[in-house]
């Protein structure tokens, strides 16, 4: 049956509402679209916080959206806030006010989650295949740069070079000086791409966002046999030059632009042009789509009966982060595989779901990255590094859960005396306790970092969990580690964990 889903995007420059009807994984009908010109970036980038005027305008607009969603019979929605709100210290006050007045739950998402949603939309419009492509999503507050294939995002990074942010910096009163374009060009050139970005050899350069779609309309051509607009970098530069010679009002009249598009389009053109040149491409593909489309596709996917996200995908995403900290990849990935096996076979005991399994796998891969700071107390360093990192497909609150699970892979048990654990809700604290208990068992089974135990089978006995392990070598150290690390598991699940050899194998 068709599903009705909606996205609400509180961006730096405007609020956008998008409601659609989905048949399977295809948008069959657009039910409603609305845009409210609330420029959160003006208050945040100039005064450091969301202004009362912007909050009031947002509440008025979202109240109407809430009513419209009820009238349309929306089954599922997701309301997200991006760069400007993410940076504002009063973002929680806004979220509470929105919930109180409209009933809409507002979620502040990370830059990597933004690019994940964009990737969902882009891959429905362009066949990327196994080739690697640069994807650039430019918003009002930041620009996200990613390397992706059709299957997944290989890496992404964010830079504080959004179009509204640049406008507030160089034309805070809305008046562009004669050297406006020169200032923008020199400032944008300070973007420092990471080493992995500098060595990328992409098949092509894909740009998304409202500004590039307008630029494509002004200076684009279609590829032969394709409806996807392509803009040459030279044409992009020339268009920026042409627009910079016009006043905002003239741009509005000449090109039929909204006021809040006409003033930010030059900064946007400069950012896109600079990044395209950095990757050595001569043209930019503009497929359309973006966060709002990615959200409804993601919602439809979650409503459908599908297999959970690939274990390999979750592990690889986390491993990519772990490599930044020179972690022991073989050990960490092996612990994640063992943790996944234990989670599946202990389902009747822990009562957790697919989302929790992904949290466990990510925590297992990253549990030792604190070694990068110091071997002593590395579990606490892991907590710090993970909680301040991003993984595609994980919200900031989920990353905080991953960090807490990893923190308790060794040493003391979770305690309300630990500040980060105390910040969690009671339900999430229980989730961390159960997942950390499983992680400790998995880590003990690879105590020597030699992957001696490749596969485990769990056998339930009254008051006891027996782990039958195929092995390659003596397991004395693993049994000792399991005895030391099984304490939390025993307290939480009321069962002693023991390691036994399979029948027919000699005892270690």
Strands, E assignment, 38-152: 76-81, 106-108, 133-138, 143-148
Per-residue pLDDT tens digits for 23-72:
877 788 999 999 999 999 999 998 999 999 999 999 999 999 999 999 99
Structural domain contains residue 116: no
pLDDT per residue as tens digits for the range 367-411: 999 999 988 899 999 999 999 998 877 878 889 999 999 999 998
Kindly state whether residues 338 and 457 are assigned to the same domain.
yes
**Residues 437-467 pLDDT 10s:** 999 999 999 988 888 888 888 988 777 898 8
Spatial CA neighbour of 438 closest among 407, 405, 463: 405
Could you tell me if 322 and 240 lie in one domain? no
Mean pLDDT of the chain: 89
First-to-last alpha carbon distance for the chain, in angstroms, is 57
Q: Are residues 384 and 436 in the same domain?
A: yes
Considering only CA atoms, which of 424, 443, 446, 445 is closest in space to residue 433?
424
Tell me if 167 is assigned to some domain.
yes
Is residue 249 situated within a structural domain? Answer: yes
Backbone φ, ψ for residue 67 (5° rounding)? -65, -45
What are the residues facing 461 on neighbouring strands?
464
Q: What is the pLDDT of residue 506?
A: 41
Mean pLDDT for 311-326 is 86
Both 430 and 326 in one domain: the answer is yes
Establish if 338 belongs to a structural domain: yes
Residue 480 and residue 461 share a domain: yes
Q: Which CATH number characterizes residue 69's domain?
A: 3.30.420.40
276 and 299 together in one domain? no
Q: What is the CB neighbour count within 10 angstroms for residue 462?
A: 5
Check whether residue 212 and residue 334 sit in a common domain. no
The string of pLDDT tens digits covering residues 161-190 is 999 999 999 998 888 999 999 999 999 999
The count of domains in the chain is 3
Residue 348 lies in a domain: yes
Q: Is the confidence at residue 135, as pLDDT, over 50?
A: yes
Choosing from 270, 303, 336, the residue where a domain stops is 303
- Among 54-63, 269-278, 490-499, which is the least confidently predicted range? 490-499
From the list 210, 81, 84, the residue with the least C-alpha distance to 141 is 84
Please report the pLDDT score of residue 472 as a whole number. Answer: 60
Across 54-138, the runs of DSSP E, i.e. the strands, are: 76-81, 106-108, 133-138
- Beta strand pairing status for 229-232 and 283-285? antiparallel
Q: Are residue 447 and residue 407 in the same domain, yes or no?
A: yes
Does any domain span residue 28? yes
Domain range enclosing 19: 3-109+295-303
Q: What is d(CA 54, CA 33) in angstroms, rounded to the nearest whole number?
A: 21
State whether 133 and 237 are in the same domain. yes
CA dihedral over 159, 163, 164, 167, signed as positive or negative: positive
Do 439 and 454 touch, CB atoms closer than 8 A? Answer: no
Helix or strand run (H / E) with residue 3: strand 3-10
- pLDDT band of residue 473 (cuts 50, 70, 90) is low
DSSP letter at 306 equals -
Q: Is 158 exposed, middle or buried (CB count within 10 Å of its CB: 0-12, 13-18, 19+)?
A: buried
Residues 155 and 272 in one domain: yes
* Contact present, 190 and 161 (Cβ < 8 Å): no
- Radius of gyration from C-alpha coordinates of the chain: 25
Does some domain include residue 166? Answer: yes
CATH number of the domain at 317, please: 1.10.3210.10
- Tell me, yes or no, whether 508 lies in a domain: no
Query: pLDDT digit string (tens) for 190-201?
Result: 999 988 888 888
Q: Check which CATH number belongs to the domain holding 192 and give it.
A: 3.30.420.150
Q: Are 438 and 335 in contact (CB under 8 A)?
A: no
Report field, pTM of the whole predicted structure over 0.85 = no
Instruction: Read off the pLDDT of residues 343-359 as tens digits, 9 standing for 90 and up.
Output: 999 988 888 888 889 99
């Amino acid at each position: 049956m068709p599903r009705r889903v909606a996205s609400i995007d509180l961006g730096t420059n405007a609020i956008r509402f998008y409601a659609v009807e989905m048949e399977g994984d295809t948008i069959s009908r657009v039910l409603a679209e609305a845009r409210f010109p609330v420029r959160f970036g003006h208050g945040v980038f100039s005064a450091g916080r969301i202004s009362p005027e912007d909050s009031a305008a947002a509440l008025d607009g979202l109240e109407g959206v809430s009513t419209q969603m009820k009238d349309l019979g929306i089954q599922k929605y997701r309301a997200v806030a991006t760069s400007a709100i993410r940076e504002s210290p009063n973002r929680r006050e806004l979220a509470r006010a929105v919930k109180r007045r409209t009933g809409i739950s507002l979620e502040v998402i990370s830059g990597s989650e933004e690019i994940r949603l964009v990737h969902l939309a882009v891959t429905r419009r362009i066949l990327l295949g196994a080739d690697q492509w640069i994807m650039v999503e430019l918003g009002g507050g930041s620009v996200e740069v990613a390397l992706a294939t059709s299957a997944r995002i290989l890496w992404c990074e964010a830079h504080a070079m959004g179009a509204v942010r640049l406008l507030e910096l160089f034309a805070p009163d809305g008046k562009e000086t004669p050297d406006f374009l020169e200032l923008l060009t020199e400032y944008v050139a300070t973007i420092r791409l990471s080493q992995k970005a500098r060595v990328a050899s992409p098949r092509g350069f894909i740009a998304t966002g409202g500004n590039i779609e307008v630029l494509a309309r002004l200076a684009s051509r279609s590829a032969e046999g394709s409806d996807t607009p392509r803009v040459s970098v030279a044409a992009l530069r020339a268009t920026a030059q042409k627009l910079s010679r016009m006043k905002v009002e003239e741009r509005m009249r000449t090109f039929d632009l909204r006021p809040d598009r006409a003033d930010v389009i030059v900064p946007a053109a400069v950012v896109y042009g600079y990044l395209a040149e950095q990757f050595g491409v001569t043209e930019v593909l503009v497929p359309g789509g973006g966060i709002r489309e990615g959200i409804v596709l993601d919602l439809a996917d979650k409503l459908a009966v599908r297999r959970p996200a690939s274990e390999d995908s979750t592990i690889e995403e986390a491993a990519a982060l772990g490599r930044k900290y020179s972690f022991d990849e073989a050990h960490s990935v092996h612990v994640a595989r063992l943790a996944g096996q234990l989670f599946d076979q202990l389902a009747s005991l822990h009562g957790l779901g697919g989302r929790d399994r992904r949290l466990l796998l990510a925590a297992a891969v990253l549990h030792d990255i604190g070694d990068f700071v110091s071997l002593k107390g590395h579990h606490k360093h892991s907590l710090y590094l993970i909680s301040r990192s991003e993984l595609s497909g994980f919200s900031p609150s989920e990353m905080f859960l991953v960090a807490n699970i990893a923190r308790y892979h060794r040493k003391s048990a979770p305690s309300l005396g630990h500040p980060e654990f105390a910040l969690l809700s009671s339900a999430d604290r229980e989730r961390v306790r159960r997942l950390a208990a499983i992680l400790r068992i998995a880590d003990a089974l690879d105590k020597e970092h030699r992957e001696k135990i490749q596969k485990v089978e769990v056998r339930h006995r009254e008051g006891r969990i027996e782990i039958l392990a195929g092995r390659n070598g003596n397991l004395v150290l693993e049994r000792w580690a399991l005895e030391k690390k099984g304490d939390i598991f025993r307290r939480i699940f009321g069962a002693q964990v023991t390691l036994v050899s399979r029948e027919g194998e000699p005892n270690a």
